[in-house]
Amino acid sequence: MNVENIWLEYRAALKRFLHTKVSNEADVEDLLQDILIKTYNNLNVVKNQKSIKSWLFQIANNTIIDYYRKKSRTQAANIVDYSPNDEPISNSVDLSNCISPFIHGLPEEHASLLTAIDINNQSQKQYAEQLGVSYSTLKSRVQKSRSLLKQVFDNCCHFKIDKRGNVYGYDVKTKKIDPCE
């Protein structure tokens, strides 16, 4: 049993497992490094070669638990350090500003629908009454509009999505330019 062979065999499975629990790609890579170091330092503890897989995934699970404990302590420290007189610090970006240009690239009927429902958080029932259509008709239109928006995103990028449906990364799709066009 050597670390290199074990790592070659189980690295991909460990990475997939980490992606089910952690959405940030950089954090997954860091956790993978931590698991490799723990494996290297403690491989002599494993007595039975058949138990390596379960042993590795137990290390991975414990590493994830430690990651979230550390993260929660850091967030708690940030909350304690905040005083009401401080300027508010926004760590998140208002994604509606990023999505709006894509929505406005859709035909007007779809763009206005998604803007009202998904950006302005208007209730679908209220919007249906405002348009004078049935609630079920509006729900169908919303799904159609979201489907069109998804096509726009899919044409732009390849998204990496975990088992929970959370985006944890993306690759921009590049078109090959044909000089004859």
Is it the case that residue 28 has pLDDT exceeding 50?
A: yes
| Residue with more model confidence, 171 or 5 | 5
Query: Could you identify the residue written with the tokens 């009927």?
Result: 109
Backbone φ and ψ for 169, nearest 5 degrees, come out as 180, 170
Supply the pLDDT for residue 175: 57
**Averaged over 17-41, what is the pLDDT?**
91
Q: Where in the chain is the domain with CATH 1.10.10.10?
A: 95-172
Q: Where in the chain is the domain with CATH 1.10.1740.10?
A: 3-81
CA–CA distance, 22 with 168 (Å, rounded to integer)? 8
Helix or strand holding residue 159 (H, E): strand 157-161
Supply the pLDDT for residue 50: 81
Domain 3-81 CATH (choose: 3.40.47.10, 1.10.1740.10, 1.10.260.40, 3.40.50.1000): 1.10.1740.10
Backbone φ and ψ for 160, nearest 5 degrees, come out as -95, 120
Handedness of CA 95, 25, 167, 61 (dihedral sign): negative
Query: Could you identify the residue written with the tokens 């007189």?
Result: 85
pLDDT, tens digit, 9 for 90 and up, residues 85-128: 444 434 334 455 667 778 888 899 998 898 888 888 889 999 89
| Residue with more model confidence, 2 or 91 | 2
For the whole prediction, is pTM greater than 0.75? no
Supply the pLDDT for residue 169: 75
**Averaged over 76-91, what is the pLDDT?**
44
Supply the pLDDT for residue 141: 93
pLDDT, tens digit, 9 for 90 and up, residues 129-177: 988 999 999 999 999 999 998 888 788 777 788 887 777 777 777 654 4
CA dihedral defined by 43, 44, 47, 49, rounded to 10 degrees?
40
Supply the pLDDT for residue 163: 80
Confirm or reject CATH 1.20.1050.10 for domain 95-172, answering yes or no.
no
For 42-92, the DSSP string reads HGGG---GGGHHHHHHHHHHHHHHHHHHHHHHHHHHHHHH--TTSPP---S
